[in-house]
Amino acid sequence: MAAVELTLWLFSFFGVAGLLGIVVYQLMCLSDLEFDYINPFDSASSINKFVLPEFIGHGALCGFYLLTGHWLMFLLNLPLAYYHMRLFMHKRHLVDVTEIFNLLGKEKQYRLMKLGFYLLLFFIVIYKLVVAAVVVILEYDRGPDVDF
């Protein structure tokens, strides 16, 4: 049972690390646009390329926590998943190339808040991963339970 828990947290670790990478990449694109290293079209298309995978990845992670019975982690992720779904349903999830300069500060702030959330989630997942690994190691050292 502990090995299954370790596998679940390992999967969660890689999922959150991927989400962190996506948000950092989007922030780098916005920073490059702010300092005029990249044109608005390239910046918007680079950001928009990763918006849907991020939404799907976060939704899958949220569903994963629900299906595995990790209620606290599910409830922690639910508000952002709801916000992502709301943005997608109202078709406001993509960055508009014509409005990107007007919304640059807002877009950076939005992604910085998501970065903070994903970092908090990352540290929680690392803690749970270490605890699960210690439990697996302790069970392995104890050996099988044999009753005669």
Domain enclosing residue 105, as ranges: 2-142
Which residues, in sequence order, are CB contacts of 136 under 8 Å at separation 6+?
A: 2, 3, 6
Domain annotation covers residue 13? yes
Domain annotation covers residue 147? no
Residue 91 in 3-state DSSP?
coil
pLDDT computed for residue 1 by the predictor: 77
pLDDT computed for residue 147 by the predictor: 53
Number of domains, the chain: 1
Domain annotation covers residue 85? yes
Query: Which stretches in the chain have pLDDT values below 50?
Result: 148
Domain annotation covers residue 126? yes
Q: What type of residue sits at position 57?
A: G
Domain annotation covers residue 14? yes
Reference 68, options 10, 142, 110; nearest CA is 10
pLDDT computed for residue 16 by the predictor: 97
Domain annotation covers residue 148? no
What is the chain's percent helix, strand, coil content, to nearest 5?
80, 0, 20
pTM: 0.90
